[in-house]
Amino acid sequence: MPVDIDAAVIGNTRLSEDYSVLALAAPEIATAARPGQFVMLKTSRGMDPLLRRPFSIFEVLRHSDGSPRGITILNKRIGTGTGLLYEMEAGARVQCLGPLGVPFEPAEAPAHAWMVAGGVGLAPFVTLAEALIARGTPLTLFYGARRAVDLHCADIFERLEVPIVFSTEDGSRGSRGFITVPLEARLSALTSSGKSSDDVRLYVCGPTPMMRAVADVAARHSRRCDVSLEQVMGCGMGGCYSCVVPARDATGAPHHTRSCIDGPVFDASRIVWDALAH
C-alpha cells in the first residue's frame, strides 16, 4: 500500500544544466520500494502545477547501519514541475506518494540480466542492479545517450562493479550510434554460440522509439524483454485512466491499459508498438 510523505529534501545534486539527483527523506517508501517502482511528487505547495509528476525511484538511501533513510530521483528539467524540482534546495519539503506500480521481476542465475538504458531511462536500474547482485545474477548495463556528457551517473554502476557498454550518437563515448548496435552484436554472438545456459533477460527504459527498437531486437533473438513505460500520468493510483498504453491481454486482444497500476513494467511482447511509437 502506498503512503504519502511530506518528505524533506536532503540534497539536490545538479549534474548539468538539465539534470539533478534529488534526495528525499522518506524511510517508509525506501523500505517498501521494489526495483522499477515509482513515486508521485507534488512539485509545488499550491495549485500550480496542480497534479503530481511520476518519477522512478532512482536510489534507496541508507543510514550507516543499513536502515533505509530515503530515496533519490533522477530529474530532467523539461517543464514547470521538473524545473521546480531542479531548483529545490535542502530543507524544502515535497509531498511524495509511493511506492507505486508493478516492479521489475529480477532474473535468477544462471540467466544473465541485461539492462538497457537511454538517457534519463537509467533511473529504474540502480535498484534493479542491487536486487540482481543480491541474487547473484550476472548483469550488464547497456547505456546510451546523445553525447558523452549526457551519460550521467555511470559511476554508481561502476561502484557496484556492473560491466557497462556505452554508446553515444556522436561517438564521444563508446560505440557511435544507437545502443541497439552493441546490444544486437552481443545477442547475435550469444545466439550463435547456442549455449542454453547463457539465457538472457532484457530490461529496457528510455525514449519510446529506443524501447521499441530494443523490443524488436529481443523478439528477433527470442529473449524475454521487459520495458518500463512512462505516459502522462494524472494520479498514479488507477483512478483517472490518463496513462494508458496499448497492451495485449492474455487472449492477444489489445486494450488501453493503465501504465500506473498494470505497469509501468510490461512484457515488451504485450505492447502494440505500431500504436505507441507511431
Partner 1 sequence: MDLSVSIGSLRIPNPLIAASGCFGYGVEYADAVDLSSLGGVAVKGLFLAAREGHAPPRIVETPSGMLNAIGLQGIGVHRFIEEKLPELRERKAIVFVNICGTTIDEYVELARILSDAEGVHAIELNISCPNIKEGGITFGCSLPGTHAVVSAVRRVTPLPLIPKLTPNVTDVASFARAAEDAGADAVSLVNTFLAMAIDVETRRPRLTNIVGGLSGPAIRPIAVRMVYECRQAVKLPIIGMGGIATAEDVLEFMIAGATAVQVGTANFVDPFIWTKLLDGLQSYMHRHSIERLSDLTGAIDTTKRHKAWISS
- Residue 78 beta carbon to partner 1: minimum distance, rounded to whole angstroms: 13
- The residue behind cell 539533478 is 20
Which residue number, 10 or 244, has a Cβ lying nearer to partner 1? 244
> Which C-beta is closer to partner 1: that of 205 or that of 243?
243
Residues at the contact surface with partner 1, assessed by CB under 8 A: 1-2, 4, 42, 47-52, 95, 97, 231-232, 234-235, 237-244, 255-256, 261, 275
Beta carbon nearer to partner 1, 98 or 206: 98
3-state secondary structure of 135: helix
Q: Residue 262 CB, nearest distance to partner 1 (Å)? A: 11
| Closer by beta carbon to partner 1, 180 or else 259 | 259
Closest CA to 111 of 128, 132, 131: 132
Tell me the DSSP string of 67-89: -EEEEEEEEE--SHHHHHHHH--
Minimum Å gap between C-beta 46 and partner 1 is: 8
Gap between the Cα atoms of 226 and 214, Å rounded:
10
Q: Which is nearer to partner 1, 51 or 154 (CB)?
A: 51
CB-count burial class (<10 Å; 0-12, 13-18, 19+) for 44: middle
In the complex, the smallest distance separating the C-beta of residue 105 from partner 1, rounded to whole angstroms, is 21
Beta carbon of residue 232, minimum distance to partner 1 (angstroms, whole number): 5
Residue 264 CB partners (closer than 8 Å, separation 6+): 36, 38, 54, 101, 102, 228, 229, 230
Q: How far is Cα 187 from Cα 201, in angstroms, rounded to an integer?
A: 11
Report the nearest approach of partner 1 to the CB of residue 124 (Å): 21
Question: Is the CB of residue 85 less than 8 Å from the CB of residue 41?
Answer: yes
In angstroms, rounded to a whole number, what is the distance separating the alpha carbons of residues 55 and 38?
5
Burial label, 234 (beta-carbon count in 10 A; 0-12, 13-18, 19+): middle
> In the complex with partner 1, which residue's Cβ is closer, 42 or 223?
42
Residue 10 is classified by DSSP as E
Q: Which CB sits closer to partner 1, 42 or 112?
A: 42
CB of residue 83 vs partner 1: minimum separation in angstroms?
14
Q: d(Cα 237, Cα 96) in Å, to the nearest integer?
A: 13
